[in-house]
Amino acid sequence: MPCLPPSPLRHFVTASFLALIVLGLAWELWLAPLRPGAWLLSLKVMPLILALPAVIAGRLRAFQWWSMLILFYLAEGLVRAISDAPAAAQLAWLETVLAAAAFTAIVLLVHRFRRNTDPPPARVRRPS
């Protein structure tokens, strides 16, 4: 299974995952839960926690999967940013920014890796 080489983008994705985990837990448990004592929404960070070892290890397949799955966090942030109370909306905008930044970094990272490892396309010689 191919692994991505260490790079600033890979470290940025890992930091974004960690920030999304901390934000999701703090948001749903202390800062602005939907209802007092409603901790079930904090479970939304479980997929991030489960993926974290593969992301830290730099597994290409994990980054490819998360290029799609991170969009759920982006969508949740956007929906809650326009529908929640102002205090929670600020947290939702932060989640939106983190998810968008992570998505962009993942796409750039995977694209660069594939561009550097795929063989160049064969040139077809035209008859003269």
Q: Say how far apart CA 66 and CA 51 lie, in whole Å.
A: 9
Residue 110 belongs to what H/E stretch? Answer: helix 86-117
* pLDDT band with cut points at 50, 70 and 90 for residue 19: very high
Q: What angle do CA 26, 11, 16 make, to 5 degrees?
A: 25
The residues, any chain, with a CB within 8 Å of residue 77's CB and separated by 6 or more, are: 92, 93, 94, 95, 96, 97, 98, 99
Quote the number of domains for the chain.
1
In a domain, 108, yes or no: yes
In a domain, 18, yes or no: yes
In a domain, 27, yes or no: yes
In a domain, 3, yes or no: no
State residue 16's pLDDT score.
96
In a domain, 123, yes or no: no
For the chain, the average pLDDT equals 90
DSSP for 63-86, please give it.
Answer: HHHHHHHHHHHHHHHHHHHHHS-H
Does 128 score more than 70 pLDDT?
no
Q: Say how far apart CA 47 and CA 45 lie, in whole Å.
A: 6
Range of the domain at 111: 8-33+44-117
In a domain, 128, yes or no: no
What's the mean pLDDT in 44-67?
Answer: 94
pTM, two decimals, is: 0.86
State residue 39's pLDDT score.
84
**The two three-digit tokens of residue 61, written as one number:** 């397949």
* pLDDT band with cut points at 50, 70 and 90 for residue 111: very high
Q: How does pLDDT run across 57-95, given as a tens digit for each residue?
A: 999 999 999 999 999 999 999 999 999 888 899 999 999
State residue 120's pLDDT score.
66
